[in-house]
A = this chain, B = another copy of it.
C-alpha cells in the first residue's frame, strides 16, 4: 500500500522544523459551509417555472425514461409505474410529485473531524474539487497519467485549501493500480489524507457497497445509516436513459442513506434539443426520474438534483465551457430545484483549453459566477478542471480554489456590522484626506477587503525584475509550498489498520489480472 501512504515530506523537504514554520505561515483552516447572503439570479417567472415543470412531467408521462436495469424495473413495477417495451418507465405526475416530496431539503454532512461538518442545502453550499481526470499536469508542467501518489497529493491540497470543503474521490485516476481494485485505494486516500467529507465511487453497485463498508469502518458500524458522510454521483445517459452501473451504485448509497447526485449529462444540441428552455425541460425530466427512484429505493433518503452542462462546438463536436447557455441553465436549474425543495449540484470551474491560459481563466470565472449566483449547493469540479475534464492541473487547482474563496466572500453578501464606525471615519478624514492611517482602517482593512495571494498587482518594473512570472508559475510554487507544509490529520491507528485489512481482503477477492489500464 505504499503508494497511498503519506510521503515523508518532512525528511525529504528540509526537516520538521522548517515544515512547521511554513505551515504556520499558511492559513489552511477550512471555511464553514457558505451561508449565502446574496439572492440568486432568477430569469424565469413563476409561470415559466410551471411551464418547465409541466413539460418535464409530460415527458415523463408520455415519452418515458429508460432504466436499463432489471432490478430498477422490478422496483418501479412494485411502486406501480407503467412499464412499456421492457425497460421504458412512464411515470405519472402525481407519482413523481409524491416520491420527490420526501427528499430532505437540508441535511448535515458529517466528517470524521466534527469541526469539518457541513450544513447543506437551502442557504448552505459547499465547494468540491474536480474528479475523474485521466491526466494530471504536474508541477513540472508535464501532462501524464496520474498515480496513487498524485492522488494523495491532490487529496492533501484539498485538505489544505480553505474554500475547498471536500476531498472528493478520484480527483485524478491512479493508473498505477488495477481498475477493478482502484475504488478501494481511492476511497482510502480520501479518508486518510484529509478529515473533510469526501465522495464515494459509483463505478458499480458492488464498488458502492465497498465504499459503504469502508465508511462503516471509518465512522463505526451503523453510524452512516443516520448520518450523511459521503456523496455518490450517478450520470444519466441523456436523453432519458439511466444505466445499470449507475443505478446499482445509486441503490448502494440510497440504502445506507448516503446522498447521490442525480446528474443528467447535457451536451447541448447533441443529446438535448437546440433550445435552452427545452434542454431545461429534458434535463429536469431526467433529474426528476432519478430523484424519484432514490425514494423508491429508500423513502426519505437524501438525494441531490444534479447535471453536467456543456454546449457543443460546431467546429469539432467538443464540449464547450463558459458559454451563455450554460449560465442560463444554471440559473434555471436553481429555480427548478428550489421549486421542488431539493438541494442541487453544479459544475463550477470547467474549461476547455489545454493550457492554463486566459481562456481557462475566462471560462472558469464565468462558470463560477453563474454557479454561485444560481444558488447551487454542491459546487463540484471547483478546482483543477482543464481540457474539458481530461486533465487536472495542479497549478489551476490552487488558483481555482482562491477564486472560490473570493466567490464565497462575495456570496456571503454585504457586511453591515461596523457600518456606523466606518461612517464615522468619513467624518474624521473629510474631503481630500486618506484613510490609510485611520484607526478604523488599521483595525478592519484585512477583513474588509479580500487579498488574493496568487494575483500579481506589482508594477511592471518589479514584475520584470522578479522574472516576469505568470499565473501558472506562481500557482505551481504555491502547490510546492502547500505539499511541503502538509500535515496528515490524525487517524486512529486501529481504524487505519481495519481499513487496510478490508482493502487487503477485498483485493484478494477481486481479480486484478486484465485490469491495469493500457495507457499507463
Contact = CB atoms under 8 A, between A and B. Distances in A.
Contact of A319 (B314, B359, B457): B457
A116 to B, nearest CB: 23
Interface in A262-316: 268-279, 281-282, 311-316
Contacts of A314: 445-446, 451
B273 A441 contact: yes
A351 to B, nearest CB: 9
Nearest to A67: B431
A88 interface: yes
A17 interface: no
Nearest to A360: B358
Contacts of A322: 365, 406, 455
A312 B278 contact: no
B415 A450 contact: no
Contact of A426 (B239, B312, B451): B239
A317 B393 CA distance: 31
**Copies of the chain in the assembly:** 2
Nearest to A426: B282
B352 A456 contact: yes
A365 B369 contact: yes
B328 A431 contact: no
A415 B328 CA distance: 10
Interface in A428-474: 429-436, 438, 440-441, 443-446, 448-452, 454-460, 462-464, 468, 470-472
A74 B480 CA distance: 63
A396 interface: yes
A103 interface: no
Nearest to A276: B414
B41 A239 contact: no
Contacts of A325: 448-450
Interface string A358-387: 111111111011100100000000000001
5 contacts: A63-B427, A270-B435, A273-B426, A275-B419, A370-B410
Given A275-B421, A314-B446, 6 more contacts: A240-B431, A270-B434, A275-B419, A318-B458, A318-B459, A320-B457
